[in-house]
Structure 1
Amino acid sequence: MDKLDAVPAFSLRQLTYFLVAAEEGTISSAAARLHVSQSAISLAITELERALKVQLCVRRKAHGITLTPSGTQVLHHARALLRHATELQAESAGSPDELSGRLAMGCYPTLAPTVLPHLLHGFSTRHPRVTVDFTEGAQDALQQSLLTGELDLAVLYDMEIQPEIVQVELYRRAPHVVLPAAHPLAALNEVALRDLADEPMILLDSSPSSHHTLRMCADAGIKPLVRHRTSSFETARSLVGRGLGYAVQIQRPANDRTYEGLPVVHRAIAELRGYEVAVLLAWPRHTRLSRRAASLIAFCQETLSDDVPI
C-alpha cells in the first residue's frame, strides 16, 4: 500500500459543495439542495480553489457558474472520491458481507422496458440495502456520463462504443421488420428489405439505432423512404399498427399489439440471416468498480442471457 506523505488540503465537504454547485449550475440552487447558506457554498469553493491552486469556475451573479477546464477535471475526480467515501461509510455501518449504498445505472431507451424491471426487482431482492437509480438516454450521452462519473454502469447496444469503455456481453438479438398484421408480406416468415424499398418507413430516430438501421438498408442496396421519425420504441410500433409504414427494430415485446390494440407482426430480415446485435453492460475503463457494481455485473451475466427469457 502506498504511504500517505501528506494530508490533503481540502475536505470532502468542500468537494461535495463544489460538485452540487456544478450540477445545479448556480450557488443559490446548490444551497437550497444542501440546506446551507449561499455563503457557505461560495466559501467552500473558494477554499477548494485555494487548496488546489486552480480556478474551478467562473461565477457570474446573473448567469450562475461555468466550470473551467480544470474545474471539469476536478469534478470528475470529486465524483469518484465521494462515491468511494459513501461506499466506505455504507460498508462500515453494515455487515462486511452485506452490500449497501446506491448505484447509478444508465440504459438505452429501447432496452429499458425489458432489462430494467427485471434488473431492479431481481437485484434489489438479492441485495435489499442497495438502491439502484436509473437514467435513460442516447448511447453517446450515456457513455459520456460513464466517463464523467455520473453513472456507474450502463446497458448499451454494441454500437459505436468508445475505447475508454469496458463492456461485457449480456445477450444477442436479431433485428427484425415490424409490419401491420394485414400487410401482404406478413404471411411470410422472412421479409427482404428490398421488397419494402417503395414503402414508407417509421424510423426509430435515436442514436445509434437510426445509424444502424440506415446502414443495414444501405448494405441491402436500398434507400428507405423515411415517412416518420420518432425516438419512442412504442410510438414506432403504434404507427406501424395504424398502417403508416414499417419499422426495423431489435427489441421485441411479448405483446404483439399496440396501445390501441392493433396487431403487428415481427418478421426476420432475409438480408440479415444469422446477424445479431449484442447487448452490453459497460463501465469506464479506468474506474475501480465498487463491490456493488461488481455484484450487479455478475447478477446481469447470470440472469440476462440468451438462455434466460426476459
Structure 2
Amino acid sequence: MDEPLDGPPRLPGYSLRQLLYFVTAAESGTLSEAAARLHISQSAVSLAISELERALKVQLCVRRKAHGITLTPAGKQSLREMRALLRQAEDLASDVSGTHQGLSGRLSVGCYVTLAPTVLPPLLQGFSALHPALTIDFEEGTGDHLQRRLLGGDLDVAVLYDTDVLPEMDRALLSTMRPHILLPAGHPLADQPVVALHDLAAEPMVLLDAPPSSHHTLLLCRSAGVTPTVRHRTGNFEMARALVGRGLGYAILVQRPANDRTYEGLPVVHKEIAELPEATVSVLLCWPRQVARTRRAAEFVRFCLRTRPADEPIAR
C-alpha cells in the first residue's frame, strides 16, 4: 500500500500542456514546425514556453527567428524529465479510463542496425496485434547512438548487442547468436565445414564498421591470435555481404539472413570459426536504469521475453 502524503500536495506552477509544447518544440527544432505538429499558432507555442520558463525560473532555450531554437544546458537536462512526466500522465489517463487491457499512446523502440530487419518486424507485428491502439515508432542506429537516445529520453527501449553497453542501462536477455565467417561461394575454403581465422589472416577483410560491431570483430580476432588485414570498411550490413560476394574479402558477422545470397544474387557461405567454437553474442533489451519505464515499455519487454527466439544454431 502506498504511503499517504504528509500534507496536501503542492501544485506546480506549470501545466502538462506547457511541457508538451516545449518538448515538441525541442524535438522539432523550430517554433513553426512545433506549431504545425500541434495544430496551434506559433505565438501560442512561444507563450507557453515563456510561461514555463517563468514557472521554473530558468531559461530553457534560445529562440532565434532564422535559426530555430537552441536548448540551454538547463533545457537539455529538463527535457528527459519532461518526457517522462508526459508519458506517466498518458499512462494515468489510460488506467483511469479503463483502457488498461489495451495499450494506447506511443512507444519508441530502437534497434541496432544489423538486427533490425530480422528482429524488429515480428516484435512490432505481434505487439501491435495485441495493442492496435498503440503507435509504435522505431529507430535503427549504432549501439552508441541508440544508448544516447535512450538516456536522452527519445527512446523507451532498444535492442542491442551485449557489447559496450553503458552501466546506466538495465537489460534483459533476448537471444544468443554465434559469430561466423562469411566467404564468397567460390572461395577455396568454402567447402570446409569449419574455417580458421589463421588461414585467412593474409587475405583482405571486409570490416562491418558500425559500433560496436567493429570493436567486437577485432576483439574476436585478437582472441584467436590473429591480426586481420582490413581492406574495406562499411557501416552497411548488406554492403559488407555484397563485397564478400564479389570476392573482395571475407567478413566476420553475427546476424545471419535467411537468404544466403547478396542483393546481386551472388552466393555467400557461412562458416564456424575454428579458433572460437564456443563464442556467442548476446542480444539484449535495454532501457535507462534511472528512468521509470512506462507501462507501454514494460509490457513490450514482457512480450519480447515471452516470444524470444531460440538461440541461433552454429553456422556451417
Q: TM-score, normalised by structure 1?
A: 0.95
Q: Report the counterpart of residue 261 of structure 2 in structure 1.
A: 257
Q: Report the counterpart of residue 303 of structure 1 in structure 2.
A: 307
- What are the residue-to-residue correspondences of 1:167-186 with 2, within 5 Å? 167-186=171-190
Greater mean alpha carbon deviation, residues 299-308 or residues 194-203: 299-308
Amino acid aligned to 2:150:
L
How far is the alpha carbon of 1:2 from its aligned partner?
Answer: 5.3
Kept after mapping to 2: 8 A contact 1:91/1:100? no
2:20 to 12, 16, 21: 16
SS at 2:128's partner residue? helix
**Residue 80 of structure 2 corresponds to residue 80 of structure 1:** no
Question: Aligned partners of 1:69, 1:247: CA distance in 2, in Å?
Answer: 43
Question: Aligned partners of 1:97, 1:38: CA distance in 2, in Å?
Answer: 37
SS at 2:106's partner residue? strand
How far is the alpha carbon of 1:308 from its aligned partner?
Answer: 8.7
Amino acid aligned to 1:50:
R
How far is the alpha carbon of 1:170 from its aligned partner?
Answer: 1.1
Q: Report the counterpart of residue 141 of structure 2 in structure 1.
A: 137
2:214 to 195, 210, 213: 210
Amino acid aligned to 1:294:
A
Question: Aligned partners of 1:257, 1:32: CA distance in 2, in Å?
Answer: 45
Kept after mapping to 1: 8 A contact 2:177/2:311? no
Kept after mapping to 1: 8 A contact 2:104/2:134? yes
How far is the alpha carbon of 1:32 from its aligned partner?
Answer: 2.2
**Residue 291 of structure 2 corresponds to residue 287 of structure 1:** yes
Q: Which runs of 5+ in 1 are unaligned?
A: none
Question: Aligned partners of 2:312, 2:153: CA distance in 1, in Å?
Answer: 31
From the superposition, tell whether residues 308 and 259 of structure 1 become closer, same or farther in structure 2 (CA, over 3 Å): closer
How far is the alpha carbon of 1:223 from its aligned partner?
Answer: 2.4
Amino acid aligned to 1:11:
S
SS at 2:110's partner residue? strand
Aligned residues: 309
Question: Aligned partners of 2:170, 2:274: CA distance in 1, in Å?
Answer: 32
**Residue 262 of structure 2 corresponds to residue 239 of structure 1:** no
SS at 1:136's partner residue? strand
**Residue 131 of structure 2 corresponds to residue 121 of structure 1:** no
Greater mean alpha carbon deviation, residues 228-237 or residues 122-131: 122-131
Q: Report the counterpart of residue 152 of structure 1 in structure 2.
A: 156
Amino acid aligned to 1:255:
N
Greater mean alpha carbon deviation, residues 283-292 or residues 39-48: 283-292
Could you tell me the percent identity over the aligned residues?
62
Q: TM-score, normalised by structure 2?
A: 0.93
How far is the alpha carbon of 1:16 from its aligned partner?
Answer: 1.0
Kept after mapping to 2: 8 A contact 1:202/1:229? yes
Question: Aligned partners of 1:64, 1:98: CA distance in 2, in Å?
Answer: 38
Kept after mapping to 1: 8 A contact 2:25/2:31? yes
Q: Which runs of 5+ in 2 are unaligned?
A: none
How far is the alpha carbon of 1:284 from its aligned partner?
Answer: 0.8
Aligned-pair Cα RMSD in Å: 1.7
Question: Aligned partners of 2:311, 2:29: CA distance in 1, in Å?
Answer: 46
Greater mean alpha carbon deviation, residues 17-26 or residues 105-114: 17-26
How far is the alpha carbon of 1:91 from its aligned partner?
Answer: 3.6
SS at 1:186's partner residue? coil
